[in-house]
Structure formats: structure tokens, C-alpha cells
Amino acid sequence: MANRTIIPFGPQHPVLPEPIHLDLVLEDEKVVEAIPNVGFVHRGLELLCQKKSFQDMVLVAERICGICSLIHGVGFVQGIEKVMNLEVPERALFLRVFWGELSRIHSHILWLGLAADAIGFESLFMHSWRVREMVLDIFEETTGGRVIFDAVKVGGVRKDISKETFTRIMKQLDKVEEEYKQIAEVFIKDFTIIHRWSNVGVLSKENAAKLGAVGPTLRASGIKSDTRMLKYGAYEKIDFEPIVEHTCDCYARSLVRVKEVYQSFDIIRQCYNKISEGEIETKVTGFPTGEFFSRVEQPRGEVIYYVKGNGTKFLDRFRVRTPTFANIPPLLQMLAGCDLADVPAIIISIDPCISCTER
Amino acid sequence: MFEQQEIINITKEELLSRVTPLFKDEYRLVQICCTRLDKLIVDYTFDKDYKFLGLRIELPLEGSELPSITDVYFAAFAYENELHDLFGIKVIGNKIDFGGKFYRINEKTPFNKKQEA
Amino acid sequence: MSDILTMCKIVLSSLRKKTACQMYPVKPAKFYKNSRGHIALEPAKCILCTLCAKRCPTGAIEVDRTKGVWQINRFKCILCNECVHSCRPVALSMENQYAAPSANKDIETHNVEIKKPAAKPVAPGESAENS
């Protein structure tokens, strides 16, 4: 048996945008086992629900993560709306889907850039982020913020989009899609990328199901599961099929994300065609009583919001389980047996978002 | 449209015998969550084909123990360490036990503070 | 099917294009009508109701009713627009330009004239001197 070495990986490492520490047990160049260590940025946001009213908690929920902020807000308000039995106007639901899918586009393009950067493909990283910038401009025009939007509130949304702006944005999005198409081609066919990602970090279908993977990580292992299929909000009126890949490696995980961006463009077009004029918010009276596990699909996977109200303006419990938290055990499985040089590419392939994991 | 959510109350002794058939039935462990009221409420959430299933255990506020389900669902180790660090629930038999160092926090069990006398 | 030409094409075509970055200090940043830049107060309209200070999630706004002072700590403000929504007399607004950078963590102070509540109608049978 070869000698075993333990190599600490992180919390500071060039590929990691956020701190996670892994103890890699190596036999020569092969990783035998990995032990994760999170908890560098625990903020205790969940306890804030005892100090902030449930309406102000939306602002906290949106700031859990800087990349999927709007969908965090949607998950939270959806839970509150269920326990308060609020009827949200349809236009508001459609606007949430519209911004939610735009967030998915910007998050996935961001990830594609980061993943390219992790394997040293820096020009592709910069081109990806150039395209993402165009999406951020649409956000700034419609909600006022570039990454933190504050567009969702209990009972509806805060901002409306006028008909003309909407039409103009759709034209802008066509341009974004055209630019994106060129970059997506590279992710699909480039020699470096295929060479670096094929058969790396394989997570078999059985393991993905057993270890509770979520989101693109699960779908890249051949399991058709997407929380949007619960048809919450306006997804009821939108047709789409989860995207599945069967090769189970890092390349499959990138393909799922590449294709999901196209799907999001399609959902946005459906939104534009199906949205109707009307109110964007309902009046909120009373306080939440009851509990609900609200599940929504984020760019990284399923996020769970547990809200428990006790009839006052403060909640009893506000709990978030973010997708990265569920994706850490599958990550350990992927790392076992890989080369040390592939570790950064594998870690980035689950799209880790550590600060939102620890809340 | 909101999904139906089914929550079953169980005791901590039944936990493993309830969870094992779920694993064989290909249920996915979605999360484990703890709520502090006048007692601790631990929710185990499972999902299969978008169908939600919850198991609920009630525990006393202090000195409570839980059997670990990491033998069945390995992915539970992170949640169980979280239960220990934030709520002070002792989880017996956790496969990866960080021994209270999962979160680097200054005070012990911040989500379940001892009542001041 | 793998190739390297796709990327080469993108890289070469960007030689012909103008730079994608905005040369920020030379060219001014672009703002939209909705952009959240900074909170502005119109002191003449403020009635010192302190609602904005109460709703502020970070406690950036402080209002002193007795001295007639409205303060904002721009370094704490997260531009969530909550104060603007809560402001009844519409004295607060969200401007689309960012606040000027500062080397010190100063607190911006506005003096607001304390408006006396309109005199209550005198109840019959009572002399005005008592009130």
C-alpha cells in the first residue's frame, strides 16, 4: 500500500470564491477520501426572524446569497403566503418567474465562466462574464439593482414592467441569446474542455439518488428531477421538461447548465406571451399562523424554506436549506478516486455557494 | 398552487425503523430541521417523485439525544452536526462527527440558549 | 467532434470589436431610471415621523424629533428602498446616482424644521389659555 498523505485544500484557494476546507487523503496522486469542513462564515441569519418582522425578513432572505437572491426571496414569501392564505395576483407570479429565470441565466453564465477559469481557460471566462453583464443591465433597468433586487414582497412584487419596456427587453434578450450561443458552442465542443471534464468526478445514478444530490448535479446523473415541476407560482402555466444528461461527469454537469440557459430563455418568452395586465400586489393584513416547507428551484438546485408563524409579526422559526448543503455529500463521493489535479474542477462543478450554505 | 405536505409524528425510538424502509423505497432525504418552541421539534423531510413526506420527533429542551441515521442516509451527517452545534442535541453514531466544530461559533448552542434563572 | 476553432473565432473576432469594459472614471457610469443609487431627503417635506428609522433594516437612519435632525449613515444603508416605501409625506426618494465616495465614515445630517401639530380645536367651555 502506498503511503497516505493528507493535503489540506482551502479555505483559501484560487478556485474557491468562498471558504470551504477539505482534508484530502491521498495515495500517491489519487484522492482516497475527502473530509469537508465548513463553518467559516456562519452568520446565524435564521435567528434574525425573532428581531425582524416577517415583512422585513424578505430583505434578509434576499441577502442570503448574492447570486440567486431573488429566488431566495420568492421561496420565503411563498411560504408566508401559504400560511397566510394570500391570493397573489397572476401578474406578480409571472414577474417572479421572469426575474427568476433571468437570475438562472445570469447565475449559470457566471458558473460557466468560473468553471472555465478553474481549468485555466481565462479568455472563455471573460467572454462569459461579458455576456452576463448584458443580463445584469436588464436587471438594473427593471428592478434597480444589479445582484440584489429587492423586487419581491409578501403579497406580490414591488416593481412593475411596462409593456414597452417588456417588449424592448425581449429584443435585448434575443441579442443576449445570440451572444450566448457562440460561447455555449465552446462549452459543448472545445477540445480542452472535453479533455478536462470527460470522465472526471463521476457520480453514478444510484449514488446521486442515495446521497440526496439536487439541481444540475442530480440531473447530470440521469435523474429527471426539477423542483419547478411542482408547478408552484406561475410555473403552472408554463411548459417545460427538466434537462437530463446521462454521462454523470463534470462535462455532463456543464452541459445541463448550458442547456438550462436556453430553456430559461424559452420560459421567459412564454412568460412574455402569457402575462396579463393587472394588479401586482395584494394587501397583507394579519400575521402568519401555521407552518409550511416552501420548496423552489434555484440555479443550484432545490432550496427549502421552513416558516413557522405564531400569530405575531415575528416568526417562530425561519429555516433555509440551500442546495450546496445537500450537494456536499455527493461532492465527497465524486472526489473519492479522482486525481489531485482534478479536485478544483470537481469542486466547482457542483457550483458551491458556501456563504449561503451556512447562512 | 401549493403542494400537499404530510407530516407524521413519531418517537425517537421508532426513527430508524421508519427511515430504513423509506431508503429502500428510494426516498430522497431533503433536509433535517429543528425548531425550538417550549420543546425541540425535529423534522426529517423526504421526497419521492415530488411527493413530500415529513417525520416529526419531539424532544425535551435540554439533554436530548437522537440516534443517527447516517447508516442509512449518509447525507444526514451534515444536518446532524448542525443539530448538535446549534441546538445541543446529542446525535449518537454519526459517521462523520465533528464533535461540535462543524460551525466555528463563539457560544455554544446559539439557537437553543439556556434559560437564565 | 472536439475542436479549438470555435474559441479561436471568438477571440479573433473580439480583436475587431471595441473594448467591452466601460472606461469608468473617464466615461460616466450609466444609470437607469430605476437604479438604486442613494437615498435623498427633501427636508421641507419631512414631518419627523420616524417611520423610516423604524423600518430601516440596518438602522442606518436616525431621527431626533426634539432637535429636528434627520441623519443617515451611508455606510450602513443597503439601499433596500424600505424607507422610501414607508415615507407618508414622500420626503424621501431614491436617486439613481451613487452617493459620493468618502474617506471618513461620516454621518450625513439634515436639519428639519419641527412642525408644530395644528392647534387642536378648543373644546367649548374651556378657555384657550388652559391649553
In chain C the domains, ranked by start, together with CATH numbers, are 30-116 (3.30.70.3270)
CA B63 to chain centre: 15
Helix (H) or strand (E) run with residue A317 in it: strand A315-321
List the Cα angle A69/A278/A144 in 5-degree steps: 35
CA distance A294 to C56: 27
What is the share, in percent, of chain A residues with pLDDT greater than 90?
0
Spell out where C8-74 has E strands: 38-41, 61-64, 69-72
CA distance B87 to B61: 9
Domains of chain A: 4-358 (1.10.645.10)
Helix, strand, coil percentages, rounded to 5, for chain A: 50, 15, 35
Q: Which amino acid is at A71?
A: I
Give the mean pLDDT of chain A: 84
A21 touching chain B per CB within 8 A: no
Read off the pLDDT of each residue in C43-67 and give the average, rounded to a whole number.
Answer: 82
Sorted by sequence, the CB contacts under 8 Å of residue B96 that are 6+ apart come out as: A35, B70, B77, B81
- What's phi and psi for A93, nearest 5 deg? -60, -40
Least confident interval from A191-195, A226-230, B8-12, C118-122: C118-122
Q: pLDDT digits over A97-126, tens only? A: 888 888 889 889 988 888 888 888 888 888
- The bridge status of strand B90-92 relative to strand B65-67 is parallel
Least confident interval from A118-122, A272-276, B10-14, C11-15: B10-14
Q: Is the peptide bond before A11 cis (omega within 30 degrees of 0)?
A: yes
* Residues of B whose CB is below 8 A from A230: 1, 3, 50
Cβ–Cβ of A60/C57 closer than 8 Å? yes
Q: pLDDT digits over B25-52, tens only? A: 888 888 888 888 878 888 888 888 888 8
A295 touching chain B per CB within 8 A: yes
Instruction: Identify which of B3, B5, B28 has the shortest CB distance to residue A212.
Output: B28
Residue B109 near residue B88, CB atoms below 8 Å: yes
Cβ–Cβ of B52/A293 closer than 8 Å? yes
Instruction: Identify which of A36, A42, A295 has the shortest CB distance to residue B104.
Output: A42
Q: pLDDT digits over A204-232, tens only? A: 888 888 888 888 888 888 888 888 888 88
In angstroms and rounded to an integer, the radius of gyration of the C-alpha atoms of chain A is 20
Class of domain B5-92: alpha beta
Evaluate if residue A81 carries a pLDDT over 70. yes
Instruction: Identify which of C2, C6, C34 has the shortest CB distance to residue A159.
Output: C34
* Residues of A whose CB is below 8 A from B104: 39-40, 42
CA distance A57 to A314: 9
| Nearest CA among A180, A179, A174, A168 for reference residue A108 | A180
CA distance A207 to A219: 12
Evaluate if residue B117 carries a pLDDT over 60. no
Per-position DSSP letters for B3-45, written without gaps between them = --EEEEEE-TTTHHHHHHHHHHTTPEEEEEEEEESSSEEEEEE
Task: Find the closest chain C residue to A52 by CA distance.
Answer: C57
